[in-house]
Structure 1
């Protein structure tokens, strides 16, 4: 066993584990329930240094991060001796936006000698394949809204806010923040039949935190009164695509992975 899977919430970790050639060593964050997996090692921010040592002792050479984790708070009383020297790095990361914090984490593992690989490198079928999922096709307005939304995410990339927004009639209605996509959609009151768009920020690493959609995303978009969910093919992970296709049809929702944009 040479691969460790640092697993968070949601279905993605189990799907990645299923796509691995050999079962990975599953590492779970303390207090975060896993779906379809059991953690062999658990850790918290204050014991990350010990985790790095343990991974090395077990012959781990590659690490993959999959699943959602809220940005943790640092509790000095729980620091162990191996992690204490990393506190300045942690404090800088916790002041950064989501992408900044992830980059610090990525660099920490790489500097320790591990190769960090993306979930899509283990399970490439998870990446959105170009085309329409289901029976409903995007109209001209939805295509325009998708272009507006994609441009907005790129424009907002330096602020490190999020990977999703809602657009309607050529205007941005809502933008994802640290609370996540579901919270943003919960705040949408009158989207005028707009669309949810998800895509990566400019310069975003593909090793950690690629945008992800799944059946729950489609349901939340429909509940918010949207007419479609649009993603960039090859840049967004789709969980349970067959289920998404069936659900999109039952909701009368467009689900489109656009290409060549």
Structure 2
């Protein structure tokens, strides 16, 4: 039996819709997903929650959607969670990747198989190629090479999964505030004299961190990302093949075509 630990955003309902049968849906207290949870749990009662999953016959767990690291109230710990305190504490002190790996390790030690959203719903990964009417120009292909190289350094520092590249130079990169904040920040820097239809010199490059565990926090692109990229004056989006999920693929492509922008699903190392 599969359990989804659902966070916020559009990914949980997209995964749920793609599954042939409804899994057990769980949510961490303080985070309201766009799906109705069967169980809501607190991090201080993680041990009891995992024991309950075993009782219900759960053998597989998939974490989908955004979840920030929650505060831990030591006085609220239950007995089943006390043995996990050192692991939880170390995880919360690490970067995002380290925290996710530690949490996955806890689940595996308790006997669960952890699956990525792209494993339970592989259709969320778009096919390789340019999926839009507009094609990237040669300058955008050069920008993509630059973006891929920059993400390697970002991933080593656990800093983010996206950057903006224009004319062969990284002009801004994602931080803990996320991709939408990156695009909105870039929008405020644009020259008001540049027409919205001038899409010749800039891309959003997005992909997973090189060493991240792809069973959690695989990047996502949605219609909102496209709209923010358009407002930032970018020509299109380049995403790493098999590394970025597009839950509403039809909506994303339709929006890009209407805006005269492109989406290139690019294998690593391609020019």
RMSD of aligned alpha carbons = 1.5
1:238 correspondence with 2:236: no
Match of 1:20 in 2: 19
Task: Output the TM-score relative to the length of structure 1.
Answer: 0.94
SS of residue paired to 1:238:
coil
Match of 1:254 in 2: 262
Deviation string 1:165-206 (CA, Å, 9 cap, x unpaired) is 111111111111221111122221446841111111112222
Distance in 1, Cα, partners of 2:30 & 2:24: 18
Cα distance change, pair 260–182 in 1 and its aligned pair in 2 (3 A)? closer
Partner residue of 1:122 out of 120, 123, 134: 120
Match of 2:196 in 1: none
Measured after TM superposition, the shift of residue 260 of structure 1 is: 5.5
Work out whether residues 248 and 255 of structure 1, in 8 Å CA contact, stay in contact via their aligned partners in 2: yes
Gaps (5+ residues) in structure 2? 192-200
Match of 1:98 in 2: 96
Task: Output the TM-score relative to the length of structure 2.
Answer: 0.91
SS of residue paired to 1:197:
strand
Partner residue of 1:222 out of 230, 246, 264: 230
Partner residue of 1:112 out of 110, 113, 138: 110
Measured after TM superposition, the shift of residue 251 of structure 1 is: 1.8
Match of 1:49 in 2: 47
Measured after TM superposition, the shift of residue 221 of structure 1 is: 1.0
Deviation string 1:86-140 (CA, Å, 9 cap, x unpaired) is 2221221111111111001111101110000111111111012112222111001
Deviation string 1:205-228 (CA, Å, 9 cap, x unpaired) is 221111111111111111122111
SS of residue paired to 1:187:
helix
Gaps (5+ residues) in structure 1? none
Match of 2:150 in 1: 152
Measured after TM superposition, the shift of residue 31 of structure 1 is: 2.5
Distance in 2, Cα, partners of 1:179 & 1:87: 28
Work out whether residues 154 and 161 of structure 2, in 8 Å CA contact, stay in contact via their aligned partners in 1: no
Distance in 2, Cα, partners of 1:234 & 1:196: 17
Match of 1:212 in 2: 220
Distance in 1, Cα, partners of 2:268 & 2:50: 40
Aligned residue pairs total 259
Work out whether residues 98 and 178 of structure 1, in 8 Å CA contact, stay in contact via their aligned partners in 2: no
Distance in 1, Cα, partners of 2:146 & 2:116: 28
Distance in 2, Cα, partners of 1:252 & 1:155: 31
Work out whether residues 4 and 27 of structure 1, in 8 Å CA contact, stay in contact via their aligned partners in 2: yes
Cα distance change, pair 93–260 in 1 and its aligned pair in 2 (3 A)? closer
Distance in 2, Cα, partners of 1:173 & 1:161: 15
